[in-house]
Every structure is written in structure tokens, then in C-alpha cells.
Structure 1
Amino acid sequence: MTELDQRAPMSFTRRVNLWLSKFSSRATAKAYSDDLGLPHDDRDWEPSSPSRRGRTRGTFRKGVAFFPWCAARGLDPLSTVGLEQLQQWLHATSQAGLAKATRAHMLTAVREFYTAMQRQGIISVNPAALVDTNAAGVTGLDEDDQGLDLDVAQTRQLLTLARTSSAARRGAQYRDRDLAVLLVLAVTGARASEVTGLDLADYRRANPSSKATLRLHGKGGRMRTAELDAHVADDVDAWIRTRAAMLDRRVPAQPGQVSSERQPLFCTRTGARLSPGYLGDIMQRLARQEGSPLAGIADQLHPHALRAAFVTSALDAGVPIEEVAAAVGHTHIATTLRYDRRRKRRKTGAFRAVSGLVAEDHSDEAEEPGQSSSVAARLAAHDAEQLPGQTAVPVPGYDPVEPAGPVEGWPGAHFR
């Protein structure tokens, strides 16, 4: 029996697992489990991996995941947690140094958990729905947001590194797989979990010269279809052939047309599905190669950088934001805007436009020697019309007339 079961009703873990097992996307269930802090050994919907046996797992979200935080304080999430406790928990996540985005999706996981419990009639009020996200500091953008900006040129450099990387040490099969998986990330803007969750049956290509489609399983069980150009599909086909040879399996007659058995599209040499975190390892390993132009940012590379680059590049190309949001699986456009790295660019047309409204260029006006400039003359005329007491703009050669005295009813005349 876990510490969580000792401090909460016996049915608690069972209820949580029943809720998580209903998600069609295992990646979503896993993300919620991690954010909530449900122990791996208590996840009856997630098969244990032999490769993980005997290995120490890290602490969930720096020790402030919701369930462990409640357990450490003797709180029952279903009966003794209200708005005050949630505010204390959010403060603890901030004190732990978690990024704003991380804290935001942790709160989302808690809110979804309580929503599910409310629908089942276990609780009457969703305490997480009462949280003021602005006051809690989990909305908006961090002023010191250091999200990595990848432009189109850098994305191409990364893909070139994948295509030309030496296969002598790790084998050609890894090169084909790494190239295919990075291409899919770059041209679809998909989440890392969506790409690693792809099955062979999710890939469709009618013939070797046509485009291909990918069926992506997004959050909340929502599915969307991404289109791959023929040259991208060629590289995915090359990986599928390599995959078949590596696993000693027959290549389907038509790429993507396979049996109903779930087979991961991207896998290890043993056929195991890749983890989302491993995609970041691929990117960093490629960027660290000798002579790589991305060596300086290798440690910062992660799959979400390609997702942000997709959003930014699409918006730069003039694609309506509604279409971009649909392409990456965002329900709200506000979420898409968080991935738009254009907000960091200080070069905008706003400065130039406003400057043109408030300042005129008279550099072509000829001025005779001994006369005040046209700008100074206009300022002088403007100052002469000011109400007494207003501070005039000093203009060389112009001596404004001092008012005779305070003007009744105008307090500004008393403050020089």
C-alpha cells in the first residue's frame, strides 16, 4: 500500500486510474499522471517496462506534484482541499522554481481531475475552477522567457545534420529513423508525444509518388490529420523499409497499410516505442557533432522548439492563425500565440508608423541664415497658445512671455 492510499480513501487510486484509463491517448494519461504525481507502480492502465526495472525514477515535478503534496500534509484531495489549499500548493510550485508554463499545465491537470470527479458526483464543487490564474501567476508570458527560437534556416541545418550524420558508429538504421522523426516534427508542428504515439497504421500513402497523411492523436482524444509532401514521405518510407529489415519483418505492400495490430511507427532496435524525451536526446546529439553550426545551442534543443518554429514560420508565411491553431491541435488561439516567437522580435512596423504620425520630416526645407528653424518657429507658436503655467519647450532664440499672474481657476498656474 502506498503512502497515498494510507492518507486517502482506499478507493482513491482506483478512481484516479478509472479516469485516466478512459483517455484514448496514453501520452495524455501519462502527462496528467506525472503532473498529479500518481506513482508509476499505481498506474494499472500503464504496463510496466522491463527496461525500467531496478532503475530509480525521478521525483515528480521537484516534489510538488499535487497528490504527493497533499499526502505530505495529510490532505484528502476529495474532501479536505479547497481554494485556500490550492493557492498554497500553487505557491509551493512557484517556490520550487518551476516555469510558468509547467505550473500552468499542472493546474490544468488538477482542474481536469476535479472536473471528472464532479461529473461522477463524488464532489459538488470543483475547487480548481475557483483559482484566479492571473493572481496565481500562471497566465501570460514570463518576462525572462528563454524559450529557444529556431528559425527556418536553423531547422534546415538540423535536418541536414540528421541526413548527413555518420552511420558508422550507430548504424544506418538510426540515421534513417532520426531523420524521419525530425522531419515529421518539423513539418507537422506535432507534440513530441503525438509523434512517438504514432502507429504504422496512422501513416497513409496511396502510391510511391503521392503525398502522405498522418493521423495524429492529440490531447483529449482529439484526432487530426497532417499532410506530408512527397519528398518528406520518401524519407518516412525509407525508414519503414529500414525498420522492417531491422526487426526482420515484412514491409507492408502499401506503406502504412498494415494489420490491426498496434506497431509503433518510430521504435528502437528492439521494436519498443520511443519516449518523447528521447527525441530531445536525438536533437542534442546531432547538434553536438563536430563542425555543427548548432553546437552553441545544442543543450537547449528540445522537440517543442520545432513546434514553436512551425507556428512562427507558418504565421510569418501569412497563414491565418485559425488555420495554424487547427494544424497544431490547439483549441484556443491564445495557446497558439504562446508558441509564436515573433513576439520577441523588437523590429515591428509600429514604431515607424507612430513616429510618422507624431513627427514630420522637414529636412528638405531650406532655411536662411539668421532665421530660427521651422521646427523652432512652430514650437514657439505653440507655446504662445499655451495656458499660463504650462511648461514650455525650450527653443533656442525664443523667449516666451511670462504670464502676468495666476489665472483664477487654473491650479497649474501655481506650479512653475
Structure 2
Amino acid sequence: MSGEPVPIDAELAVLEALPAPTTQEWPGVDDPDVLRAELAEWLSGYANAATRRTYAYALGLPIAWVDAIGGVAEPADTARRPPAAAPGPLHRLAWFRWCAGRRLDPRAATAADVKAWLHALSAAGAQKRTRQRMLSTLSALYGHLAEAGVVAANPAALNRSRLGLSSTARDSSPTVRLTAAQLKALLVAAAQVHYSRDPRLARLYALRGVAVVALLTLGLRISELVGLDRDHLYRSGGDEVLRVLGKGGLHREVYLTDLAGEALRAYLAERDRVAGTAAPARRGRTPAGGSPMIATRGGGRCSRVDLYTLLRRIAANSGPVLDGLADRVHPHALRHAYVTIALEQDARIQHVQADVGHATIATTQHYDRGRRSRDTTAADLVAAAIAAAPSPDGE
């Protein structure tokens, strides 16, 4: 059922609580509890919490509700966090908000509705990659609903070429390309940024900033970094590795370079000292949910937004070497830099693909744990390039 647009709250209140029932209206939906259950069933099929959150953001679902589906506890230091940023220009164009504004039950949406939504996103300034990502999310949702018999067909299964949303190898990446010297400048700046007026915390936050940048130089996705627990660091074949949960629920071993290892150990030691902990909990003895590798002051798990904001702050203080680029630095830029620097250092492309977990590249699938070793990673080549790069102060 459709009609004139109506004002919609910033969040869909009907989804605020789980599993308590609600009497609040979801415009256009006669059975909101049923729709909520159908969404929960779909999202619970994804093991990766970051994937669930990404889908929730694109659709306009409250993140806390989606986290509750996966049993993720609310961070203990929520009250200490700064106010959330104001909604951006695409906030009300998340799919469920857009449908609710038209009193349209999402289960009754047609291909014409999806096209109208995409055109609205374009008019609001959404870039091609953003529209591609949001359409892919929608297609995944409706693919599940079609399989479950909730809808007759997938309205998001559109001809992307006609919509100008097809991807080709000729599409250039908008990601800024960072050099080894610029990565070194980020590491130096991370240790020097003034993070807190409290001297007891200044060193902790500085070491955390360095650890975050150092771990991102391993080619990790930001979702992989925030999902790491302390017991995901262990020794394998005599080397320190991180057990990383990547896309598709697939794990891979990421070898820790001396650069990343030293930064991580320094941060964790200081964190334990500030918290009054003599030693980190042993593997298998951590609390339910694990102890986050990168934590907030209260010990909670940092969010992607937390680390994105942290990286931007570091980039803004990185000096002339990043002039004109600081506002374009984001976590994926460091992952991109890992790949480009590794290939510039003549690393085998198969090793690089295995390092970063490019599951869509055929050769990557041949790299299982039994074939991974220190000789089949480009991590040390990238770390060596960063170490050899000139320092930002010219020394």
C-alpha cells in the first residue's frame, strides 16, 4: 500500500526492543512483529557481526537491535561516548525509512519501487559504489525472503548495466593511494597526537593509536580489526599470527610483522597496567564474548566509526607528507596500500591475495592453513618498505 510521504522518526521505533513486543506503528506494515521476526531470521544467518551491522545500516535498522540478535552486549562505557554524529544526507533514504515514508510495506515492494529508491539515492548525491552496495544488500534480503516464501520474487534483482551500476575492471578505484613514506608518517603521528588531558591515559591512547595503524598495515579490513579478540593472537609454526574472521565467515591466519607485533604488545601491556591487570587472560579463560584486541577506555569493543575517526585525526596531524590527502585517509586506504606496496616489492600475487583474504579471486581458495607459512606472506616486505621510507621529519 502506498500514499503520500509521512514524517518518520530517525529510528524505526518498532525495532528498538528485542524481543519485547511493541504497540507502535510501522507505517504501511500491518504486522510489524512478523516482519521483525523475518528480518531477525535473515540476519541471524550471518556469523559475522560486522556483516550484520553493515546490512542494518544500509537498511535503516537500529544497530543495537541487530547486535542483540547476535548476542552482542552493549558496551559498558556507552555513557562515556560522545554524542552520535548528526544523520547524513542519506539517513532517511535507507530502504526501510524510505518505504515507511511512503507507507509501503517492504514485502509489497516492486522493481519499480526499488528503481525509484535508487534514483532518489542518486539525486541525494550517493556515489555509484554506495548505490551498488545498498542494492546488493537489498538483493540479499529479498533473495532470502523469496526463498522463505515471504515474497513472490526478488524486486532488487535488476539489470545493473541499464542502471549504470555494473562493475568492470576498467572502473578506477576512488581509494587514495598511500606510499610507504605516508604510512610511516601515520605511525609517527599516531604516537604524537594529544589524545587526552589526563596524563594517566595519554600514553595508553597514544599506544592504541600506533597499534591501530600498525595492524591496518597488515591489510586487515576495518571490520576484521574491530572483531579481533586478544585470544585471536597466538603462535603457529613458531610465528605470531592473528586468527582473522573475514567475509563469508571464513578465517585466515595473518602473520604479525615485527612492526605490528611490537606496537600491539606495547599497547596491551600499557592497557593491562592502567587496568591493574598483571597479565592478559589466557586463551580459553576470557569472559563470554572475548576481550577485544582494541578496546575503549572502559574495556568495550571499539566500533568501526571509533577507529575511522581515530585514523582521520591521526592523518590530520601527519604533517606535509599527507598535505591534501588527510581528509581522504580511511581504513581501506591502508588495506589498499598493503596490496600496492607488496606488489611493488615483487611479492607473488597469490601470496598477497591470501594475506588480504580476497575470496573472489580463484587462486586464493587454494591457500588453506596447511599451505600458509612465513614464506607465503608479503607482510614482511611491506613492513620493510615502511621501515626504509624516509621519516616525515627528514631524519
Interval of TM-score (by shorter of Structure 1 and Structure 2): 0.7 to 0.9
Query: 8 Å contact 1:321–1:333 — kept in the other structure?
Result: no
Q: Distance in 2 between matches of 1:53 and 1:151?
A: 33
User: Structure 1 stretch 33-42 or stretch 85-94: which is displaced more?
Assistant: 33-42
Render the CA deviation track for 1:186-240: whole Å, top value 9, x for unaligned. 12x1111210111111111479xx5311111222322222111234212211211
d(CA) in 2 for partners of 1:16, 1:202: 30
1:178/1:24 CA distance change after superposition, 3 Å = same
CA distance change for structure 1 residues 119 and 176 in 2, over 3 Å: closer, same or farther? same
Alignment of 1:61-210 (within 5 A): 61-78=90-107, 80-129=108-157, 131-140=158-167, 146-165=174-193, 169=197, 171-187=202-218, 189-205=219-235
Cα drift, residue 309 of structure 1:
0.9
Matched position secondary structure for 2:156: helix
Alignment check: 8 A CA contact 2:189 2:318 kept? no
Query: Equivalents in 1 of 2:92, 2:65: separation in Å?
Result: 17
Does the Cα contact within 8 Å between 1:183 and 1:232 map onto a contact in 2? yes
**Kept in 1: contact 2:214–2:259 (CA 8 A):** no
The alpha carbon displacement at 1:263 in A equals: 0.8
Partner deviation per Cα, 1:233-283 (whole Å, 9 max, x = no partner):
1221121111211222232377x6753631111012111211112222222
Indicate if the aligned counterparts of 1:289 and 1:295 stay in contact, CA closer than 8 A.
no
Give the unaligned 5+ runs of structure 2.
Answer: 1-12, 15-23, 365-395
Report if aligned partners of 1:287, 1:293 keep a CA contact under 8 Å in 2.
no
Question: How much has 1:53 moved relative to structure 2?
Answer: 10
1:290–1:112 CA distance, 2 compared to 1 (3 A): closer
For residues 228-247 of structure 1, the aligned pairs below 5 Å read: 228-247=256-275
Q: Give CA deviations for 1:336-393 in whole Å, capped at 9, x if unaligned.
A: 9xxxxxxxxxxxxxxxxxxxxxxxxxxxxxxxxxxxxxxxxxxxxxxxxxxxxxxxxx
Distance 1:84 1:108, change over 3 A: same
In the alignment, residue 72 of structure 1 is paired with which amino acid?
G
Partner in structure 2 of residue 373 of structure 1: none
Query: What do residues 92-144 of structure 1 show as CA deviations (whole Å, max 9, x unaligned)?
Result: 11111112111111111111111222232323422222x11122222337979
Change (3 A) 1:287 1:56: closer
Asked if structure 2 preserves the Cα contact closer than 8 Å seen for 1:25 and 1:221, the reply is: yes
> CA 1:60–1:108 in 2, change beyond 3 Å: closer, same or farther?
farther
Q: Distance in 1 between matches of 2:194 and 2:114?
A: 51
Cα distance in 1, alignment partners of residues 322 and 175 from structure 2: 16
Q: Secondary structure at the match of 1:224?
A: strand
The residue identity in structure 2 corresponding to 1:113 is L
| SS across alignment from 2:297 | coil
Report how far residue 174 of structure 1 moved. Answer: 1.0
Identity of aligned residues (%): 32
Task: Tell me, in whole angstroms, the C-alpha distance in 1 between the residues paired with 2:309 and 2:334.
Answer: 14
Q: Secondary structure in 2 aligned to 1:225?
A: strand
1:42-57 superposed matches below 5 A: 42-43=65-66, 44-45=68-69, 47-48=73-74, 50-51=78-79
Cα shift at 1:167: 7.5
Distance 1:197 1:82, change over 3 A: same
Cα distance change, pair 126–102 in 1 and its aligned pair in 2 (3 A): same
After TM superposition, give the deviation of residue 56 of structure 1 in Å: 7.2
Q: Which amino acid aligns with 1:33?
A: A
Matches within 5 A, 1:244-259: 244-252=272-280, 258-259=285-286
Over aligned residues, Cα RMSD in angstroms? Answer: 3.1
| Structure 1 residue runs without a partner (length 5+) | 337-416
Residue 282 to residue 222, structure 1, CA distance change in 2 (3 Å): same
Quick one: structure 1 residues 316 and 203, their matched pair in 2 at CA, closer, same or farther if it must change by over 3 Å? Answer: same
Runs of 4+ in 1 over 6 A off after TM superposition: 141-145
- The one-letter amino acid of 1:77's match is P
Partner of 1:20: 43
Residues 1:258 and 1:294: Cα distance change in structure 2 (over 3 Å) = farther
Change (3 A) 1:176 1:40: closer
**In the aligned structure 1, how far is the partner of 2:293 from the partner of 2:110?**
44
Q: Which one-letter code corresponds to 1:102 in the other structure?
A: T
Q: One-letter code of the match for 1:275? A: S
Partner of 1:299: 327
Partner of 2:61: 38
Which structure ranks higher in relative contact order (CA pairs < 8 Å, sequence separation ≥ 6)? Answer: 2
| Larger radius of gyration between Structure 1 and Structure 2 | 1
TM superposition shift of 1:82? 2.2
Whole-Å separation in 1 of the counterparts to 2:327 and 2:140? 33
When residues 321 and 84 of structure 1 are mapped into structure 2, their CA distance, relative to the original with a 3 A threshold, is farther
With the length of structure 2 as denominator, give the TM-score of the two structures.
Answer: 0.73
Q: Distance in 1 between matches of 2:349 and 2:25?
A: 43
Number of equivalences? 329
Q: CA deviation at 1:164?
A: 5.0
Structure 1 pair 221–89 and aligned structure 2 pair: CA distance change class (3 A): same
State the one-letter code of the partner of 1:107.
L
Distance 1:174 1:74 in 2: 47
